[in-house]
Structure 1
Amino acid sequence: MTALPTITPVSAALEPLLRARLDGKAKPPGSLGVIEDLAVRIGLIQNRLDPRIAQTDLYVFAGDHGLTNEGVSAYPSSVTAAMVGLYLSGRSSVSAFAKATGVRVHVVDAGVDADLPAHPDLIAAKIRRGTRNAAREPALTQDEVLRAIAKGVEIARSAAADGADVIALGEMGIGNSSSAALIMHRLAPAPLDDCVGQGTGHGAEGMARKRAGVARAAQRSDATAPLAVLCEFGGCEIAMMAGAVLGAASVRRVVLVDGFISTAAALAAVRLVPAALDYCVFAHGSAERGHPLMLRALGVRPLLDLDLRLGEGTGAALAAPLLVAAANLLTDVADLAEVLAGPG
């Protein structure tokens, strides 16, 4: 098995100094609540009293799923490739949000079931053209999962070398909420019914098909080890996102995790290398059914609650300015002693 990257757990040694620095700012101690906690978190990740968030790169990992043959999605797999084109044109929801918040968007072809034309903002990293049907056989081989993880590690480390302080995760893949539900079911763990939500938007009949298809996949394999779960139920984009979490954490970068599917990838990464959790900030609490339970399983609190359930990295793009603000709190706000001393 290919070695997973080494991740150094975040040390709490600087926390008292970071807290004291915040308490000494020109504001009542603790008055900025979660933003102060976030500032401390960023300082600990970067291991410095003056953390800096100048560049956030958001990667939208795209892949298709053979499980769609079971009727788990309201849309055909061809929509994945069409949406990739929309991201690259700059006319998607995440494109609009990223433009508003200064986030750089890149698209990764992790496993789209189509031949995509070259584009400056498209990273060609295809593991295979869609996964196999997880209701009938393992979605991916171990070699495919390990190659996806390794590529995710490489992408994250390359982003860091290119100046990214934050690596944000988004995704697109018809059928991937079903894959994420199965990963959550085994790795949270949680009852399957609590993990399956509307995804792209099913009515009652569609939800019945989705639940039945996901149940067939769950009944086919009893895998619970994280690598085996990714083989049985994962997507190329989910495994690659898990690798990106590990890669970013290995070079002490903040990982900004989007919604339900991105969190399932982070869950897999954390089950593979528990120290990766220290580097993850969760952007928002999705309206997708299983997301609150998965966040609780990880013991984390998201920054925003906006009833989003689109994916794409939309929540991560919206949350990105909060990280900048938190870091600026430590570096740009005057000390109270300065104010009390008065002019001159």
Structure 2
Amino acid sequence: MFTQFSIQTPSAVIGAELQHKIDNKTKPLGALGELENIAFQLGTIQQTLTPDVSKPKMIVFAADHGVVAQGVSLFPQEVTPQMVMNFLMGGAAVSVFCAQYNVPLRVVDVGVNAELAAHPLLGARKVAFSTKDFSQQAAMSAKQLEQAVQAGVDEANLAIDDGANVLMFGEMGIGNTCVSSCMMTALIGVSASDSAGRGTGLDQAGVSHKAQVIEQSLKRAEQETGQMMSEWSAQTLAEQVGGFEIVAMAGAMLQSAQRQTAFVVDGFICSVALLFAQKVAPNVRDYAIFAHQSNEKAHKMLLDYLQAEPILSLDLRLGEGSGAILAYPLINSACVFLNKMASFESAGVSGSES
């Protein structure tokens, strides 16, 4: 199912020209800091000296999780469809920020445990009404995994075919910080106590319980598969402890990269989706721009593992793409300075003598 992805590292041929253009703007070398790195990355991805992110698209994937039955979330599962409706009605944080920056929003149901009424902003790609409780059995079947990944692929294609030149991803699903922590533990081998965090506001006892559920779930899965989790393929990992919205996001990231389109990674859960996508195709990482470091405990560890430099650090822990949309104006500014800022030569300004 993952053989459809063949992602190439962006060609480095244009790199010298891009760096020369960046360095010869009317500023000291490196003075625009991370904006220069973003401009270079976007220019390399788009293979142009004039990168453009003026046609963004925010895609929020939503699904429910059977493991919520184990008491790993402060909020009940009914909140997932309620929040999806809030997105669609324009009342959520990601909704108002998208409206503020004139960024089109699409919400994709890949596994919400409710029937959702049709809406112009809603993508109806439901795989099932929630994953199974992975503390007791595999989260999803091979067919369901394939459907969830394809949902992400189809959404990325839909946006890019419509002209989007940068994609932003978000998620919604009560219990998905637990799922993400479990996937992170399986993917990089950290302990459950290191990967489990507060999520929607658990106290320390709740976090400890979440870590115990993760440990028990991974042991169950190792026994069922007859393999240590370090030996699992991407498919086995997702089937055993994945979430529909997380693997759909991974599919969208993989397809975005395959089509040489940059994408913005939101917080902890989106970063886990990228970590999973990287297991499928390592070069997907080259197309990712990291929006922010969240307040979720394991996110700093994960960003370090990915060797990622996030744009913002605002103590956010909301998810739903909120950090990605807040970072978008700065990503756009990276293009603006590269495309419109004067060079030393054009402005008649003397450059450095070194």
TM-score (norm 2): 0.94
Superposition pairs of residues 84-163 of structure 1, within 5 angstroms: 84-163=84-163
Residues 250-295 of structure 1 show CA distances to partners (whole Å, capped at 9, x for unaligned) of 1111110100111111110011001111100110001101111111
Other structure's SS at 1:221 match? helix
State the partner residue of 1:329: 337
Other structure's SS at 2:12 match? coil
* 1:296 aligns with one of 288, 293, 304: 304
After the TM superposition, which of the residue ranges 126-135 and 323-332 deviates more from structure 2?
323-332
Work out whether residues 2 and 280 of structure 2, in 8 Å CA contact, stay in contact via their aligned partners in 1.
Answer: no
CA drift of 1:341 comes to 7.1
Cα separation, partners in 2 of 1:192 and 1:206, compared to 1, 3 Å: closer
CA drift of 1:126 comes to 0.5
Calculate the aligned-residue CA RMSD, in Å. Answer: 1.3
Letter in 2 for 1:191: S
Other structure's SS at 1:25 match? coil
**In 2, Cα distance between the equivalents of 1:200 and 1:266?**
21
State the partner residue of 1:186: 186
State the partner residue of 2:267: 259
Superposition pairs of residues 302-317 of structure 1, within 5 angstroms: 302-317=310-325
**In 2, Cα distance between the equivalents of 1:168 and 1:128?**
24
Q: Which runs of 5+ in 1 are unaligned?
A: none
State the partner residue of 1:197: 197
State the partner residue of 2:56: 56
* 1:232 aligns with one of 215, 240, 244: 240
State the partner residue of 1:282: 290
State the partner residue of 1:212: 212
* 2:256 aligns with one of 238, 248, 260: 248
Work out whether residues 26 and 349 of structure 2, in 8 Å CA contact, stay in contact via their aligned partners in 1.
Answer: no
**In 1, Cα distance between the equivalents of 2:59 and 2:27?**
36
Residues 87-115 of structure 1 show CA distances to partners (whole Å, capped at 9, x for unaligned) of 00001111122222232211000100100
Cα separation, partners in 2 of 1:341 and 1:201, compared to 1, 3 Å: closer
Letter in 2 for 1:282: F
Residues 1:38 and 2:46 aligned together: no
After the TM superposition, which of the residue ranges 147-156 and 38-47 deviates more from structure 2?
147-156
After the TM superposition, which of the residue ranges 313-322 and 26-35 deviates more from structure 2?
26-35
Work out whether residues 80 and 172 of structure 2, in 8 Å CA contact, stay in contact via their aligned partners in 1.
Answer: yes
**In 2, Cα distance between the equivalents of 1:49 and 1:281?**
18
Work out whether residues 192 and 212 of structure 2, in 8 Å CA contact, stay in contact via their aligned partners in 1.
Answer: no
State the partner residue of 2:11: 11
**In 2, Cα distance between the equivalents of 1:2 and 1:276?**
13
Work out whether residues 8 and 275 of structure 1, in 8 Å CA contact, stay in contact via their aligned partners in 2.
Answer: yes
Q: Percent identity?
A: 37
Residues 109-168 of structure 1 show CA distances to partners (whole Å, capped at 9, x for unaligned) of 010010000000000010110000000001011221122111211110110111111111
Q: How many residues align?
A: 342
**In 1, Cα distance between the equivalents of 2:279 and 2:306?**
10
Cα separation, partners in 2 of 1:340 and 1:247, compared to 1, 3 Å: same
Letter in 2 for 1:194: D
TM-score (norm 1): 0.96
Other structure's SS at 2:61 match? strand
Other structure's SS at 1:8 match? coil
**In 2, Cα distance between the equivalents of 1:214 and 1:187?**
13
**In 2, Cα distance between the equivalents of 1:327 and 1:2?**
33
CA drift of 1:2 comes to 5.5
Letter in 2 for 1:163: G
Work out whether residues 186 and 229 of structure 1, in 8 Å CA contact, stay in contact via their aligned partners in 2.
Answer: yes
Letter in 2 for 1:275: N
